[in-house]
Amino acid sequence: MILHDLLFRLRSLMRHPAAENELEDELRFHLERETQKYVKTGMSEAEAARRARLEFGGLDQVKNECREARGVSLVESLVQDLHYATRTLFHSPAFTACAMLTLALGIGANTAIFSVVNTVLLNPLPYPNPQELLAARENDSLANLEDMQRQTKSFASSGGINIEPMDFTGTGEPVRVHGAYIDAGLFTTLGARPMLGRLISADEAVKGGPRNVVLSYSFWRDFMGSDPHVLGRAIRLSDNSYTVIGVMPKDFTLPKELADVFLSLWVGYPDAAAERDVHFMHMYWRLKPGVPLGQAQAEIAQVDHRLAEEFPHTERERVTLLIPLQEWLVGDVRPALLILFGAVGLVLLIACANFAMLLMARGMARQRELMIRASLGARNGRLIRQRLTESTLLALAGGAAGLLAAKAGTELLLTLKPAELRRFDAIPMDARVFVFVFVISLLTGLLFGLLPAWSASRGDIAEGLRENARTTATGVSRSPLRSFLVTAELALALILLAGAGLLIKGFLRLRSVDPGFNPANVITMYLQLPGSRYSEFSLQTNFRRELLSRINAFPGVEAAMITDLPLAGNYVGHRVVVDGHATLPEGTEPVVQTLSVMGQYFGVMQIPIRAGRDFNAMDREGQPRAAIVNETFVRQLLPGQNPIGMRIDWSRSSDPPQWMTIIGVAGDVKHSGLNQPVDPAVYSPFSQNDEAWRKFMTLVIRTRVPAASLAEDVKKQVWSLDSQIPVSSIQSMDDLLAVSVAQERFNVLLLGSFAVLAVALAAVGIYGMVAYRVNQRTREIGVYMALGAQHRDVLRLVMKDGLKLGALGILLGLAGALALTRVMVSVLFEVKPTDPTTLIGVALLLAAVAMLACYIPARRALSIHPMTALRRE
Amino acid sequence: MPSRSIDLPQGTLDLLILRTLALEPLHGWAVSERIQQISSDVLRVQQGSLYPALHRLERRGWIKARWGTSENNRKAKFYELTKTGRRELEIEQDAWQKLTAAVSQILETA
């Protein structure tokens, strides 16, 4: 039935001219036949024709009704409406520009954020059947991974990976690249295929396997010159020669890690790879199709249990927690992104309210025209439809402009380098983004066009006409819709302002956190000694000592070294035992940060020594081992004791223990991030830690000259000692501090600009309302003033409504903010979502803005000249 | 035109058209004539309103149209009932009779 109807309409539309002719023929036949009938009764031809026409009724009207009955008129009138709308919009460019700009701002901001949400949260991972992929929360060893794979049935495959910096010495300066040490299962699990050659096979991923390497696409392009015959070539990585066996395709990336070259774990860690208790690999798993996560997790838990029983000393505490890969990747950023998306949605609502008010004002201005058309017989429905066509056309045009704004916006977002987008170098606008823009534009045009059109058809026009005729007693038209829109706008703006205020307060708190060191005038750079030539610990120590003495010889420079820099990311944790404390079961001793230092580290970083002394030149190899702990160490592990002189050692490091004596207590340093708690830490001299594997170090230099000029000199010094050492990550401590709060800064900047946009739009809304009222009541005000009213009275008269609505909106907004800002808990730093100072502050701010927005148009009322106003009609 | 003709109640025009077409395919003018004749000129059908009704019925699929030659040898558009139309006619006719019976019963007894 419906199908028939549709097909019929469609056919009528397709054969439109033919159908028109047929209709013409059919009706003409009727009239002729009728005329003939009357002629037969003896009428004259002309009289008969006249009679027939009379009997028939209005020919054009019948034709129209027939068209409507055939269902053609719907489309036809749409075309008409579109034509009409375009014409009238071009006739009032100011209105069109205002409406489009309003919507372009609202829709543009939404589209930009949606593009980010789309890229980060919605787009599937670039692997086949990504829903089967899991990540493990904890790292593990290859032996455990293999046991788990063997003893479970839920998984199709699993793979392990560990990323380490390597130095590629091809031509020119040595370059630091990311090496991915992988087992043979990794590529299988991710479903990756090589672009050239082959991947590392299970046969060669064994102890003593060949030194083969698979290159990433970018490495192949940048360092191999996209050589198609690269297979079989030898390249030097960290002083070893590797044979290229494959190149990955351009679009292949690891889920989270950056990697330039892929090598077998067994090549990278021939000893550690076999050790069950060296948990150095990150693991990915692929479920067999259809196996639920719960079942897989239960199976893994059984294996965990068996391993704990079998190896109680080392494996008792390990737990394998599997999470869907997508969640693992975006879990941290999802709340912040969704909050931003919600906030930008509110901005759109405010923009839409302004849009609706613009349309209403325009409706009022055009009421004469509408009246005339209505009295000429245009039906109400048709008039509404026409206005809807106009608003939808405007909204779609605004959406198109918004799309352009969003394109620029996403590029701006990328330059802010927030954590959300670190994995991406572009935010593509795909089909989903276009559909999003189209749908919200369409909805905006229809819904917010319908509101004023509907309210106009219900009587605002009539009311307006009465006013035009100046016959109403009050002379005031209070459109309830306009009042509602203004109130809602202010309430929404307040919610956004409250959210932004809370974020800013949290951000300021975060920025004022004392990192524990003085970042000013400090530059840092990362070095790694090639293992092949610095395998001996004494060689490493000599290199470090020589480099420091050379750099310290620069005028105005103080230098020191540390293994892991604060705020840079990771640190190495060791379990620690305290001499004289009860022995804890193995594997349950407390874990502390372990940091090797050389030179005046605490002096260079300006970390205060709270008790005892700093290291000095005598704390070196061959001397009693010394350690400095941080305050948190003392508070947590040695509460109420004097730590100076107490002895500690890494658990199980040596038997008998080689005790380190605590010689000092250093101030706490926010090592893991400003918003993270401080962990207990132990500093000890590089020269006393026989840990030859710590070949990496960060050179920390405090300078009195501009740091940038120094960096090149320092590099030259490094290379004068050894030309094969890559120097990388040259950055100032200030920059590092800024990067550590980049995520928060991004949220603050975005939500802050949304709030500003919201307040501006709301201010325009309330301004428009008051201005409109002033305009509407010009005559009344003129009478008032003629009767001797004071400026104050006039101001009160025109501002009263605006202020009342403003106050109501702010109150409602406060209630809304109290209800909504709770979702922000996870992104706020040490600020309660109901922080009263912030809420009161933003309410006052918005009140001031609203007052100003009322006052400016109201002041115009004061300049009204009574006589002019009275004459105006 | 007799002075005592009455206007058609809302919605009955469709029923009359279907009934008229149930006997044979007719063109629009003939339908109008037939209704007037059979009702002995009591019912007054505004001729113009006939055509939108015909087109509406055609869209619903109750009648279908084809071009043919009229009794005076002219090209004319003939309408005939479809199967659906025939079924609808029965339903409507039945409903109408029930309605009129009920109304007249009330008029007689109340």
Lowest mean pLDDT among A182-196, A308-322, A465-479, A598-612: A465-479
Q: Which residues of B touch A68 (CB under 8 A)?
A: 52
Tell me if A262 sits within 8 A of A161, measured CB to CB. Answer: no
Q: For the segment A712-771, what is each residue's pLDDT rounded down to a tens digit?
A: 788 888 888 887 777 777 788 888 888 788 888 888 888 999 999 999 999 988 888 888
Whether the pLDDT of residue A235 is over 70: the answer is yes
Rounded distance between C-alpha atoms, residue A134 and residue A189, angstroms: 10
Bin A417: left if φ > 0, else alpha if -120 < ψ < 50, else beta.
left
| Cβ separation B53–A22 shorter than 8 A | no
Q: Which of A199, A707, A422 is nearest to A190 (CA)?
A: A199
Q: Using 50, 70 and 90 to split pLDDT, how confident is the model at A459? A: low
% of chain A at pLDDT higher than 90: 32
Residues 6+ away with beta carbon under 8 Å from A41: none
Average pLDDT of the residues in A281-288: 92
Residues 6+ away with beta carbon under 8 Å from A121: A330, A334, A337
- A interface mutation test: which of B1, B36, B44, B51 has the most A CBs within 10 A? B51
Residues 6+ away with beta carbon under 8 Å from A590: A575, A576, A636, A637, A680
Q: For the segment A332-351, what is each residue's pLDDT rounded down to a tens digit?
A: 778 888 888 999 999 999 99
Q: Which of A357, A381, A352 is nearest to A445 (CA)?
A: A352
Task: Give the residue, B3 or A354, on which the prediction is more confident.
Answer: A354
Tell me if A632 sits within 8 A of A679, measured CB to CB. Answer: yes
Whether the pLDDT of residue A474 is over 50: the answer is no
Question: How many other C-beta atoms lie within 10 A of the C-beta of residue A571?
Answer: 18
Most confident option among A107-111, A312-316, A582-586: A107-111
pLDDT at A292: 92
Residues 6+ away with beta carbon under 8 Å from B87: none
Q: Which residues of A touch B72 (CB under 8 A)?
A: 33, 36
Q: Using 50, 70 and 90 to split pLDDT, how confident is the model at A475? A: very low
Task: State which H helix or E strand residue A599 sits in.
Answer: strand A591-599
Tell me if A744 sits within 8 A of A824, measured CB to CB. Answer: no
| Cβ separation B47–A68 shorter than 8 A | no
Whether the pLDDT of residue A247 is over 80: the answer is yes
CA distances from A444 to A254, A396, A437, A449, A580 (A): 40, 9, 10, 7, 73
Task: Give the residue, A102 or A371, on which the prediction is more confident.
Answer: A102
Angle between helices A59-70 and A73-91 (to 10 degrees): 100
Tell me if B86 sits within 8 A of B100, measured CB to CB. Answer: no
The residue with tokens 């629009």 is: B28
Q: Which of A350, A717, A744 is nearest to A550 (CA)?
A: A717
pLDDT at A642: 93
% of chain A at pLDDT higher than 70: 91
Average pLDDT, chain A: 84
Bin A172: left if φ > 0, else alpha if -120 < ψ < 50, else beta.
left
% of chain B at pLDDT higher than 70: 90
Lowest mean pLDDT among A16-20, A633-637, A648-652, B46-50: A16-20
Q: Tell me the residue type at A406.
A: A
Whether the pLDDT of residue A532 is over 80: the answer is no
Q: How far is B36 from chain A (nearest CA, A)?
A: 13
Angle formed at CA A755 by CA A734 and CA A442, multiple of 5 degrees: 125
Rounded distance between C-alpha atoms, residue A578 and residue A562, angstroms: 24
Q: Return the DSSP state at A120.
A: I
pLDDT at A1: 57
Average pLDDT of the residues in A790-810: 86
Q: Using 50, 70 and 90 to split pLDDT, how confident is the model at A585? A: confident
- B interface mutation test: which of A3, A20, A29 has the most B CBs within 10 A? A29
pLDDT at A464: 47
Average pLDDT of the residues in A247-267: 88
Question: According to DSSP H, which parts of A118-232 are helical?
Answer: 142-151, 185-190, 217-223
Tell me if A676 sits within 8 A of A669, measured CB to CB. Answer: no
Task: Give the residue, A311 or A10, on which the prediction is more confident.
Answer: A311
pLDDT at A52: 87
Q: For the segment A74-129, what is each residue's pLDDT rounded down to a tens digit?
A: 666 777 778 888 888 888 888 888 888 989 999 999 999 899 888 888 888 889 99
Q: Which residues of A touch B47 (CB under 8 A)?
A: 30, 34, 55-57
Percent helix, strand, coil in chain A, to 5, is 55, 15, 30
| Cβ separation B29–A29 shorter than 8 A | yes
Query: Least CA distance to B68: which residue of chain A?
Result: A26
Render A63-110 in DSSP notation, one character per residue.
HHHHHHHHT-HHHHHHHHHHHHHHHHHHH-HHHHHHHHHHHHHHHHHH
Q: Phi and psi dihedrals of A796, rounded to 5?
A: -60, -45
Rounded distance between C-alpha atoms, residue B95 and residue B89, angstroms: 10
- Strands A591-599 and A681-685 turn out to be parallel
- B interface mutation test: which of A26, A66, A68 has the most B CBs within 10 A? A26
Rounded distance between C-alpha atoms, residue A400 and residue A427, angstroms: 18
Whether the pLDDT of residue A873 is over 60: the answer is no
Structure ipTM: 0.89
Q: Which of A328, A397, A327, A480 is nearest to A103 (CA)?
A: A397
Q: In a 3-state reduction of DSSP, which class is residue A560? A: strand
- Strands A261-264 and A322-324 turn out to be unpaired
pTM of the model: 0.70
Average pLDDT of the residues in A574-601: 87
pLDDT at A582: 83
Residues 6+ away with beta carbon under 8 Å from B75: A25, A29, B67, B68, B69
| Cβ separation B72–A66 shorter than 8 A | no
Q: For the segment B17-59, what is each residue's pLDDT rounded down to a tens digit?
A: 999 998 889 998 888 888 888 877 777 777 888 888 898 888 8
| Cβ separation B75–A55 shorter than 8 A | no
- Record: fold of B6-109: Arc Repressor Mutant, subunit A (1.10.10)
Q: Which of A263, A114, A98, A75 is nearest to A179 (CA)?
A: A263
Q: Using 50, 70 and 90 to split pLDDT, how confident is the model at B7? A: low
Q: Using 50, 70 and 90 to split pLDDT, how confident is the model at A255? A: confident
| Cβ separation A55–B47 shorter than 8 A | yes
Q: Using 50, 70 and 90 to split pLDDT, how confident is the model at B2? A: very low
Angle between helices A142-151 and A293-310 (to 10 degrees): 120
**Token pair recorded at residue A117:** 């949400």
Q: Using 50, 70 and 90 to split pLDDT, how confident is the model at A708? A: low
pLDDT at A638: 92
Q: In a 3-state reduction of DSSP, which class is residue A737? A: helix
Tell me if A522 sits within 8 A of A366, measured CB to CB. Answer: no
Domain ranges of chain A: 2-71, 138-320, 334-512+742-871, 530-724
Rounded distance between C-alpha atoms, residue A579 and residue A581, angstroms: 6
Domain ranges of chain B: 6-109
Question: How many other C-beta atoms lie within 10 A of the C-beta of residue A704?
Answer: 10
| Cβ separation A66–B55 shorter than 8 A | yes
Tell me if A731 sits within 8 A of A523, measured CB to CB. Answer: yes
Q: Tell me the residue type at A564.
A: D
